[in-house]
Amino acid sequence: MSADRPTALVTGASGGIGEALARRLAADDHDHDLVLAARSADRLASLADELRRSHQIDVTVIVSDLARPGAAADLVAALGDRRIDVLVNNAGVGLYGPFLDSDPAALSGMLQLNMVSLAELTRALVPAMAARGSGRVLQVASTAAFMPGPLMAGYYATKAFVLSLSEALADEWKGSGVTVTALCPGPIATGFQAGADMGDSKLVKGKRLMTAEECAAVGVRAMNRGRVVAIPGLGNRVQALSPRFLPRRLVPGIVRRAQAPSH
Ligand SMILES: NC(=O)c1ccc[n+]([C@@H]2O[C@H](COP(=O)([O-])OP(=O)(O)OC[C@H]3O[C@@H](n4cnc5c(N)ncnc54)[C@H](OP(=O)(O)O)[C@@H]3O)[C@@H](O)[C@H]2O)c1
């Protein structure tokens, strides 16, 4: 590990969109080393091996459960004096079903992972970027950020937090050399749907979903251009903007019907 090479930290890099983002960052810019974080040590280790071999970059693995309070601080401590130039806050989970049926511990873990750890990592790692006058932050939100989402109420609210935080920080950081981009994908073919127990939802069942690689390509391009919000796919852009043209009270019912179970 070298302390002075530019480095990108990717959370949730053991699969899905995070793995695709790590692959894309490694392929696009061989000047960057990578730090990969998630819980699955084996999957991180094999991705790290592959990226080291194929791109001759330094790849460090940090096993971290970011749903645990205090985990973001531990991750920052594990980085030591490592310089982070690109922060990709991607790790996140969903919970499908009525809010009152959700497992309380799973709900708390989701709030901690999707919002608190993301905000804490941003707060901890961006000051050094600002001091250097350059840095990129990519926050993985969702099209869910643009509307309330009955049957995934807590998840949609976490993504609204990510989008709101990112847009506000983009304004605060104008002229600092640090940019922040909220990547807002629609449904993507990853382990997310199984993890959220939403395989039966009309939103995804029987649909051809965008791939994680397509999503990551849009995200990295938008981040490199310093765009504040990136929504991959025209249909998703229309869907994300449509609540603006509807009476607010109608939107929750429309979203509930769209993601109700298909049977
Ligand atoms: N797929 C979609 O339809 C979709 C759409 C919009 C937005 N998103 C967002 O995209 C991001 C990535 O999701 P994905 O679709 O790639 O899902 P995924 O395939 O399930 O991957 C989730 C990643 O997050 C990591 N993760 C989960 N819990 C964690 C924890 N407690 N601590 C640390 N890492 C954890 C997982 O690694 P470990 O299990 O190894 O910890 C994995 O690397 C999430 O923020 C999600 O909300 C997904």
The answer on pLDDT for 88 being more than 60 is yes
Quick one: pLDDT at residue 29?
64
Specify whether 155 is catalytic. Answer: yes
Q: How confident is the model at residue 66 (pLDDT cuts 50, 70, 90)?
A: very high
Q: Does residue 4 have a pLDDT over 90? A: no
How high is the pLDDT of residue 53? 95
**CA 249 to centroid of ligand 1, rounded, Å:** 30
Please state, as a whole number, how many other Cβ atoms lie within 10 Å of the Cβ of residue 204.
20
- The best mutation among 108, 163, 192, 197 to test binding of ligand 1, ranked by most ligand atoms within 8 Å of the C-beta, falls on 192
How far is Cα 263 from Cα 251, in angstroms, rounded to an integer?
Answer: 22
Q: Is the CB of 233 under 6 A from ligand 1?
A: no
- pLDDT of 6 reads 84
Q: For a pocket test of ligand 1, which of 62, 90, 95 has the largest count of ligand atoms closer than 8 A to its C-beta?
A: 90
Structure token pair of residue 147: 């509307």
Q: What is the pLDDT of residue 260?
A: 95
Q: Could you tell me if the CB of 190 is within 6 A of ligand 1?
A: yes
Q: Which atom of ligand 1 is nearest to the CA of 185?
A: 6
Separation of CA 16 and ligand 1 centre (Å): 7
pLDDT at 165: 99
Q: In the prediction, which pLDDT does 31 show?
A: 67
Give the mutation target among 39, 146, 162, 207 for probing the ligand 1 site: most ligand atoms within 8 A of CB.
39
Q: Which CATH architecture has domain 7-259?
A: 3-Layer(aba) Sandwich (3.40)
Average predicted confidence (pLDDT) for the chain: 96
Establish whether residue 215 lines the binding site of ligand 1, counting it when its CB lies within 6 angstroms of any ligand atom: no
Centre of ligand 1 to C-alpha 129, Å, is: 25
- For residue 129, which of 7, 41, 22 has the smallest C-alpha distance? 7
| CA 11 – ligand 1 centroid, Å | 9
Ligand 1 proximity of 96 Cβ (cutoff 6 Å): no
Closest C-alpha residue for ligand 1 atom 25: 12
Report residue 52's pLDDT band, with 50, 70 and 90 as the boundaries.
very high
Which ligand 1 atom is the nearest neighbour of the CA of 191? 19
Paired sense of beta strands 86-89 and 7-11, if any: parallel
pLDDT beyond 50 at 255: yes
Atom of ligand 1 nearest to the CA of 204: 3
pLDDT higher than threshold 60 for residue 1:
no
Band of the pLDDT at 28, cuts 50, 70, 90?
A: confident
Residue 93 has pLDDT above 70, yes or no: yes
Report, as an integer, the average pLDDT of 134-146. Answer: 98
- Nearest of 14, 82, 85, 83 to residue 51 by alpha carbon: 14
pTM equals 0.97
Residue 197 Cα, ligand 1 centroid: separation in angstroms? 13
Q: Which residue is catalytic, options 33, 57, 62, 155? A: 155
pLDDT given for residue 32 in this prediction = 81
Identify any residues that bridge with 201 across adjacent strands, giving them in sequence order: 261
pLDDT digits (tens, 9 = 90+) for 185-207: 999 999 999 999 998 999 999 89
CA of 52 to the centre of ligand 1 (A): 23
